[in-house]
Chain A
């Protein structure tokens, strides 16, 4: 079966931010290497999870995928078209097709706008989507679809709980009928009991509107629950990319192994069974990333070749997923899988 064509694709994406010192006489003293050559494809209708720790480049990647910032080099293709070559009306048309849901439902909604104004604002910008007289009705439908009463349109964000606010954010993102939804930590700020409701909602909407998701989160179990495929990022690079099951159950990159093994497992019976890899040290500075493999400074497998040669993100003998490690080896680290056998 041929692979379906990607709807969104990153090609050798590089983003560096200048690093300057001084207030009056600014001197450029270096660069932050936020993204260093990311190749990624989002397939139609799938959920691609993006995991990695702070500073790994997840959110920079999201901004570039939405064409909110220009890359230093490389490009992003939406249905085969270079998004950075677009301008004017065509860029606006693209924006309509890729939308984002942000982490913090407290700061991402304007406190002085009513819920109806917030959800309807996209119609005011993209005037051709819905005629003015239909807008109120469309807002009502959207609110209803995310599980809120259309009557709440006249109320203000502060009257709502975190979970309800996130629903408002989702309704706004859906207003223009996008094809791709980028969810940047959409449930991280929510309570556990509410988090599950929003995850279910996102899954229902995906099916109903045939959406493709990029799902960014630091909570590995949430990403695993919702994703078809997972990309693991470290210091501006993707170190492992493959089907959710392969990446989680038999990770081949040492960083993925450490990450999966460090994630707390909500089952006390597994407490003493599991092998936890506690990484030494900290993520190196993005202003001065290590040569060769970016993970080598914390890796227990590092050899001379890791300093000299950057490992490519390719399928290796260890498993079906792509792995950027010279010494990729399949290993089950998730205790639940290990115990289940």
Chain B
């Protein structure tokens, strides 16, 4: 397959969805072992993404959203991290149970990731061309010349102006936005089916962020990628996501298509988050806030992890962990009082 050419058959304008998820995390438990105690980073986290779909995984720092991506990519530091339970299924196969060789191959070619900080993700002593070309040489066995030609193609595909001239430049010679494009080029070099973008625009300025999000959206449509966008920015989510999984204390607490989730959240945490964003036309008014702060992994609350901050909390919330359940068609919430939260919207 020639790289840099979008597979036409897969529908450039409207990504086809066959319903079956391409990648699914199912009931995943990850813990970190410290000298004094073991902390749980993921507590039965589940989400899935289909080809051509953009899933936004939203959460605050420490929620476990990045850990989930690292578990998929196999880049968790083990130890101290350990996947205690659960499955990560790619096209129905649990990759955690595959033999090491197969697993590595799959992760290298089918699932790719871009990180927030392109400057530290790229190697400063190699030219950007070498870093993109390396993908073709190592995984495809291409010659130096061939790999370099494909590297230039990739740079053009991520809209880096003057790619032929810049292929020999080093990462520090590029701006933040251009470096992010190069990282995307490396990630997409082997034509993966799933792209995980972990806070890809957080370090960038607003106008550059708009450029990168536009690029990601175009690339997703060109290749019918399944895109997992990990972010804390609800503005970005509202602009690009098809579906959202809201993560709190290592669990998905709400999952819904983007429109309904913003219009009528079904979990008090989602509701509080959306309400606390400053909005136009309410200048100077007090922002509705969530009380307290996200829980620390070392001392998780009992029962529902959100209960200490929740305006809906009742004794049952401290006693029983609410499961993530269907509350409406294609909408799930992990709240004992989801129906009431929905009705209040």
Contacts and interface: CB of A to CB of B under 8 A. Distances in A.
A221 B235 contact: yes
Given A193-B272, A197-B289, A266 B281 contact: no
B345 interface: no
Interface stretch (A80-88, A172-180, A274-282): A274-282
Given A196-B288, A200-B287, A337-B280, A220 B273 contact: no
A222 interface: yes
A334 interface: yes
Nearest to A340: B281
Contacts of B209: 262, 264
B328 interface: no
Given A53-B206, A191-B61, A200-B286, A266 B280 contact: no
B293 A164 contact: yes
A194 B287 CA distance: 11
B115 to A, nearest CB: 18
A148 interface: no
Interface string B149-179: 0000000000001000000000000011110
A194 B207 contact: no
- Interface magnitude class on chain A: 35 or more
Interface string B201-234: 0000111111101100000000000000000111
Contact of B259 (A192, A193, A268): A268
B277 interface: yes
A330 interface: no
Given A192-B60, A266-B235, A221 B279 contact: yes
Interface string A185-212: 0000001111111011001000000000
Contacts of B287: 196, 199-200, 225
Contacts, number: 135
Contacts of A203: 284, 286
Contact of B238 (A199, A245, A264): A264
Contact of B207 (A161, A225, A258, A269): A258
A281 B258 CA distance: 31
Contacts of B239: 264-265, 268, 271
A224 interface: yes
25 contacts: A53-B208, A163-B293, A164-B293, A192-B60, A193-B272, A193-B276, A196-B276, A196-B277, A196-B278, A199-B278, A200-B289, A221-B277, A224-B283, A225-B282, A225-B284, A226-B278, A226-B283, A259-B206, A262-B210, A264-B210, A264-B239, A268-B241, A268-B262, A279-B211, A334-B280
Interface of A: 53-54, 161-164, 191-197, 199-200, 203, 218, 220-222, 224-227, 244-245, 248, 258-259, 262-271, 276, 278-279, 281-282, 334, 336-337, 340
Closest 10 CB pairs of A and B: A264-B235, A225-B278, A53-B205, A196-B276, A262-B210, A191-B60, A196-B287, A193-B290, A196-B289, A268-B238
Given A221-B235, A279-B211, 20 more contacts: A161-B293, A192-B232, A193-B273, A194-B60, A195-B276, A196-B277, A196-B278, A196-B290, A199-B287, A200-B287, A218-B205, A224-B280, A259-B206, A262-B207, A262-B210, A264-B238, A268-B259, A276-B210, A282-B177, A336-B280
